[in-house]
Every structure is written in structure tokens, then in C-alpha cells.
Chains A and B, each alone.
Chain A
């Protein structure tokens, strides 16, 4: 009974102890592993037999701060020649973490797919045609073929490249690289970049 009567006192001291011992941790710099800072398009000309010839032309879109609030991305203009075919390889990287994200995309090839839209690929006068040509035959878009028409209706167009994550690849139409209703196959966009295109 006596002990119990002192309970408020014990409570108070327990409380004071707890108050004194509870502090927030020091903040830690987080490495944004998910971040994409660089997207590079490698175009290598294909000869008549379909074999790559000559050095690759590279065009890059980069945003040193990734998706955080900050500067807008810098996107280079893609220059291609009319009537020619190219091998297009896409490289995705996180330069802050020095991480090759292309590898991660290939590891999860069943969950990722690139789509090629914009006036360069969509519409009756679209100057470019894309076909998937990935190593294992799966439709991903890390590797593909781009054909430029002989006499384009316009010299300027937009290449819009979208990387979808967690989509249903069996959705009707999802195998079309120019699938405009890509949203209906589910998933979300990891990349959505528009490169200006000039055809010479």
C-alpha cells in the first residue's frame, strides 16, 4: 500500500527519464538509387546486309539532379540521314551513383518496355519506323532498328521515348513499339523524354 501511494512519484521520474533519452537521429545523406540522370541514344548505321557499320552517333538527355526539384533536363537534337537504317541502342544510367540502369532493365525484362512515339514515329507522314531487336527476342527496346524514309514530308520531328515499368506485356497492342495507348497496358512511366529530330 505504501509503495503504491508513491506510484505517482515513480511515474514522474520514469517520465523525466524517458523525456531526456528521446532524441531524433542525425540526418543521413540518401543515395537516390532509383534516379535516372542520363539517357543516351546510340545510332549505328546499318549496311544493306543489316550489319552495323562505322562509329555510333550518340545523343544524350541528361538531368544532373534527376527528378528532384531543380534544373530542367538538357536534351540533344538527334540528327539522322534520310533513306538510311540504324541500329538504336538505349543506355540508361545514374551518373550520381555511377550505376548502369540498362542492366537492371534487362534483368527485369518482363516488367520493362520502351515505346517510341511522337511525330517521328506516329502518323501517316512519320519519317521513322521502329522495330524491336533485343538480344533474347523479348520486346524491350534496349536494342532495335530505326529506318528513315527516303523522302520525308518534313525535316523536323519529335522522338518521344517512354519507358514503361510493370506493364502487362500480353495486353493486346502492347507489342507495337508505337503503341499510343500504352497506359491501358498498366504500369507507370519511368522515363518520358522528347528528343528533337532533324533529318538531313
Chain B
């Protein structure tokens, strides 16, 4: 067999620009043939230290931006040519070089295989959290972590339940992918946090465009990709240990990741990862919030085998959490609810304890993924991915006697997903993906709760077929795609002791058109217009009953139509030597947006009165801007700013929707001493959040006042022998300011979290 040096490498996006970094050096270059000086388009450039890279354009040019001063290993690969590896030192100036590649016909040494890293390649706006930014976010849940990306906020229920919001949309209107599998939990509930451990990721990417075509229904506002790193393919063991402690809630968090490759079997690699977290009642500046502790235990494992043509990966992740719900938020009836809202804070000062009492939630989520791909030839690749998920959610209320031990909501959700797709790439810069996707889901209420179930049992089947093609020419890229989905939902439940069964079906066609243009080496513009859809959720269709926490009776409507949206997102990105900025503007028109509307009626029972809400549909228009920028004043001093503005109108009633993030910005100054790998960095930042002036006609309480917080961050990086150590000290809400966040549902009952000092130790060996 003729030995060819075959390199399989998948690049993670074109340029993942982070925010608030004071690094803006660049590596630029040109790749040409050694024999005839002709340029080589499509060569892979990989910078090992930042786990990022680029592809040379038609003229053989490439650029990699946003690099900090330091040492970098540049690896250049092109099919049929010998690799070039070079270590360079970046100081205060950017690096520029032309590389000549030698034909590998002369080199018949062994086959080299690289690990795979699948990532989204899109003309939509993409932002990512990795490296130092992700290090700062360690210990936070997914929703909290992603607030570091401009345009992403969170919709929270207290401090421990936090759902990411992209451009004003959340829950079932965005999608979260756990290592490439769409996370299927009970995302419909406002108090149902995503069932994922952020510690399993070495990069969290947010796509801010409508991505229904690529990922299926519901990816309307955007997509969050929680991705582990590449699996090793050679023996090279690495362990990453995190130890965290925080004063507020006396939180302790431990995470460990170990990866290695096989010495005997080339291409075989594995990773195991686990984390535990325990926290007690958190403290607002003036009091403890009763019953806000949490306990979390997660682990995941991956094993992968990569040969020249075939790649296979088996992945498993387990998520398990138990979390307390603020005692005071659980009200018996409307008069209870009004009393605590009027009080504006819990009636008692509370005390510290790790105990978690009712009301509480216990959630577990298991995910299994099998993925395989096969290179049919250098241009075509076939992929198959199967995902299995089991979600078990139990919610416990304060009840009488033995019923306290029983969950009042007990749901088991099983999901199978199957993806079959082919990728193709050609020398003429045309590339694309064609695929078929099947989602099958079964939701069951576990009997014995002693409460009439809020949502029925159901079976769902969704089939979709799609294709996407991208054409690149020099600095210009254009992408189109289309998809058709068909979904059936069969529900069954008892209403007044009579079986009620419903069969529903939905179908939709979606498409997108996107373009990317590199105006100059430092300035790029991207635009993406995409349609998306979301079939109504089972709770929106069938809810009929009391929602305890909200002292509200919610009534669904089985005749709701699918939501259909059209989102246009544009981004201008500049990265110069000292300054970089990104400006994103978007508009999203949603037809038949489903929302919960107060009817103004109350329902009277022996228990008291309750507000009645119904699910309605109206046309919605959302638009806004995200911005972020940074400037390096000197080698040591830098500053950053980021922020977002969003508007959301109900076009039918000319009013505003509830729980839309208010205008906000964050700016800070950083001072760094030392070089990469051995440095001290001090950051002081200031978070400014305006009052939400655009309130809906009805709310239980007016929007809280705006607030300003000051945060402090210290990060020391230093080597211990061959290994790397990071020590971080973060103080959030430095002045222990009392405030309420509009996007927190518990603003009705309590102030937000007070000062929190977190110590982080990270040892990489």
C-alpha cells in the first residue's frame, strides 16, 4: 500500500474572536509551492497554543488575529505536501512570512493522523468563550458563563437556575448542543435550567443567527455549542484540575479532566471528565436567601478511534443536580404572592445552611452519542451520528405529611436523534453538506405524584432533510441552504377521568442566505438572512392547571400554529494592531409568536384566588445591536467595552413582551505584568444595567431600577516545571450593592446575590 501522508484536520470556525482581551497581534502569511512559486489555496494553518487556525485563500494568503504576545507553534498542512512546523516569538509587532511547501512524494515515512474537531462553519455571527475567558467563567452554570458574550443574557429563576438568552430569545427558541447532539430536556419551563455541565467544554460557541436549516426546528434565536476539545491520537497524557471555592453560598467545586492516547494503537484516544459542586444558601447584601443551596455531580467520557479514512467516537455524559428553590417564592395563592411582592424581600432574614428542603428540583440527564465518518474520497465524507438521551425531572413542593417525599412533577423524557449527512469540499472552493435528520421523543409522567400532570404524555417524531452549499472566492464567501421538516405529535392524558388523545402534525420549509467579505486584512463584514420555525410546545398546547410558584392558572391552546421567523444578522469586525471591535445589528420578525398573556380574570378556589393566564399568538418584531471592542494602550495596559441593546414589540397589540433584557454594558481596564505563561493580570470592570422602560401592560411588579456593579479579577499564570498553573481571585459585586435584575423571576421576592469572592486554582499537567 502506498503510504501517503494524510492529514485530517477540521478547523473550528474561521475566526473566533473573543471579547475583552487585550491581545491583538496577528500572524499573517502566504503559502506557495516550492517548485514553481505558485500559491497554494486551501492549506491548513494551525496554531497549537490557541487551538485555532485558518485556511489560505485563493492567493495563498492567511491571517490569524487576536493573538497575545508569546511563543506560537505554527503548523501548515496541505494534502500531498510535507508539513511545515515553525515556532515563532510574537512580541509587540505582528508576524508576516511566506512559506514554501515541498511535495511529499520524497517522504514515505509513516501515516500521520490527527484528531477531529467538528465546528460550525457559518456566515452567521459567531462568538466563543475559550481560554482565559472560559477560565474566568469556570464554576458558573452555562447561563451565567455566557453572559460574558455581548448579546447573550440570561433568564433566571434565582441564582442557581439560569437559561441563556440570545438576542432576546430563550428556552425552546434557541438550541444547545452537547458535543454535537441537540440537548433535549424539559426546556419549556422558565425554571428549567439546561442540563449540561460547562466543565466538559474547552470551548463554548454561540451562533447568533437563525440556524434551523443546519440544526433543525427551534434554532430560531441562535445556537450554543458546548464542545470538548479534540481527542488525542497519540500517547500524550494531559490532566486538567480545577479547584474552586466561593464565599457566597460557601460553594466548593472540583473538576478533573484527563485525556490520553494509546501507545499501541495509533489513532485511539480517550478523555474522562468529572465535576462535583456543592453550595448552600446564598446571601443578598442584607439577608440569606432561604433554601437556595445546590448539589451537582457530573461526569463524561469519550473514546475515539481515527484512521486515515475512518473516524469513530463514542461519548457519554451524565448530569445530575439537586437544587433548592427560594422558600419565599413558593406562595399558596394570589394574596400570598401580593404580600411578598409588596414586601420586596423575604419576610425572614434566613440563615446559612447547606440543607436543601422542599420546594426543590432533582434533575438527571444522560446522553450517549455515537459518531462515525468515512472519507469516501478526498472530496466526499459520509457521516452518521446517533444520540440517545434520557432526562428525568422531579420537582418537589411543600406538601402535607408523606406527600413531601413525593415529587409533584415527575417527568421522564427519552430522545433518539439520528443524523446522516455527507460533506463535500473541492479545489474550486465549493463546499457543502447534505443531510437527513430524525428526532424521536417520548415523554411520560411517572405515576404516583398525587397531582394531575401539567403536560400530557406524548410521542413526537420529526424528520428533516436539508442541504447547504458554500462558495468561496478570495475574500468573499457566499452560503445558501434549505430544509424541510415534518413533525407529528401524539398526546394522551386524562381530563376529568376521560382519556383525551390528540394527534397533531406540523411541517415547514426554511432557508437561509449568507455572505462573508473580507474588506481588508483587518476588516470583515458578514451578513445572514435566515428563516426558522418552531412548532408549539406541549405545555403551550395543553397546560391546564395551577403553576404553584407563580400563583397562576395557565391555560394552553391545542390549536396554536407554528412560530415562523425571519432573522437578519450583520456583523462588522475590525482587528487592528492595538484596537479591535465588533458591531452586530439584527432584526427578527416572528409570525405567530407564542406568549403567556394575563387574561385579567382570577380563578377562585378554597385555596384562594389565582391569576389566569392563557397562551396567545401575535406577530413580534425584535431588533437590536451588540457591540464589543478593546484597545491596547501600552504593553501592559488595555481596556475593553461591550454591551447590547434590544427592542421587542408585540405588533398586534402595540405593546411590549415581558422578560426582554434591558440595555446594558460592561467596561473594564486591565493591567498585565510578565509574559505569556508567567504573568499577573489585574482587571477592574464596571457593569451597567438600565431599568427596563419598555414593560408589558401587565406585570406583578414594576421593573426594578437600573444598577451598577463593580467587579475585580486577578489572574496569575505561572509554570511549575513543565506544567502550567493558573490562580485566579475574582470579586463580583465588590461593594455588596443591593440590586434586582429584571431578567430574574425572583426579583419579585428578593434582591440579587451580594458580594462573592471566588478563588480558583487550575493545574494543567
A3 to chain B, nearest CB (A): 11
Contact with B along A48-88 (1 / 0, CB 8 A): 00000000000001110011110011000000000000000
10 nearest A-B pairs in the assembled complex, by CB-CB distance: A189-B332, A188-B332, A192-B608, A33-B450, A183-B339, A28-B447, A25-B444, A24-B442, A15-B386, A24-B457
- Indicate if A191 sits at the interface (CB-CB under 8 A): yes
Contact yes or no, B340 A183, CB < 8 A: yes
Q: Bound complex: CA of A192 vs CA of B551, how far in Å?
A: 13
Q: Is the CB of B388 within 8 A of A192?
A: no
**Given known contacts A24-B444, A24-B457, A68-B546, is B607 in contact with A192 (CB within 8 Å)?**
yes
Please report the C-alpha to C-alpha distance between residue A15 and residue B444 in the assembled complex, in whole angstroms. 21
Also in contact, A25 and B553, with CB within 8 A (given A183-B336, A183-B343): no
Residue ID in chain B nearest A16 by CB atoms: B418
**Does B494 touch A at the CB level, under 8 Å?**
yes
- B440: which of A5, A19, A62 is its contact (CB, 8 Å)? A19
| Most chain B Cβ neighbours within 10 Å, of A14, A39, A67, A104 | A67
B31 interface contact, C-beta 8 A: no
- Cross-chain contact A24 with B443 (CB below 8 angstroms): yes
- B3 interface residue per 8 A CB criterion: no
**Chain B 446-478 interface mask (CB, 8 Å, partner A; 1/0):** 011111110011110000000000000000000
Give the total of A residues in contact with B, Cβ under 8 Å: 54
Question: Which A residues lie within 8 Å of B605 (CB)?
Answer: 63, 66-67, 72-73
Q: Once the chains are docked, how many angstroms separate the CA of A4 from the CA of B606? A: 65
Q: Complex Cα distance A184/B336, Å?
A: 10
Chain B, interface size category, equals 35 or more
A4 B400 Cβ-Cβ under 8 A: no
Q: CA of A93 to CA of B374 in the docked complex: distance in angstroms?
A: 67
Q: Are A183 and B347 in contact (CB under 8 A)?
A: yes
Q: Which residues of the partner chain A approach B544 to less than 8 Å between Cβ atoms?
A: 68-69
Cβ distance A129 to chain B, nearest Cβ, rounded Å: 24
Contact with B along A132-164 (1 / 0, CB 8 A): 000000000000000000000000000000000
Residues 401-438 of B, flagged 1 when their CB comes within 8 A of A and 0 if not, give 10100001000001010100000000000000000001
Complex Cα distance, B416 from A68, in Å, reads 34
User: In whole Å, how far is B357's beta carbon from the nearest beta carbon of chain A?
Assistant: 10
- With A and B bound together, what is the CA distance between A168 and B349 in angstroms? 13
Sample of 29 A–B contacts (CB below 8 Å): A1-B307, A4-B310, A4-B312, A7-B312, A8-B384, A11-B386, A19-B438, A24-B442, A24-B457, A24-B458, A24-B492, A27-B492, A27-B499, A29-B494, A30-B451, A36-B606, A39-B606, A63-B605, A66-B605, A68-B544, A69-B545, A165-B398, A184-B343, A184-B347, A188-B398, A189-B335, A192-B335, A192-B606, A192-B607
Residue pairs across A and B with CB atoms within 8 Å: the count is 163
A64 → chain B closest CB, angstroms:
11
Is B235 part of the binding interface, using a Cβ–Cβ cutoff of 8 Å? no
Selecting from B323-331, B557-565, B691-699, the interface stretch reads B323-331
User: Do A31 and B450 touch (CB < 8 A)?
Assistant: yes
- A33–B386 contact, CB under 8 A? no
The interface residues of chain B lying within 8 Å CB-to-CB of A66 are 605-606
- B452, A18: Cβ atoms closer than 8 Å: no
- For A103, give the chain B residue with the smallest CB separation: B401
Q: Does B705 contact A (CB under 8 A)?
A: no
Instruction: Indicate which residue in A12, A108, A186 contacts B400 across the interface (CB closer than 8 Å).
Output: A108
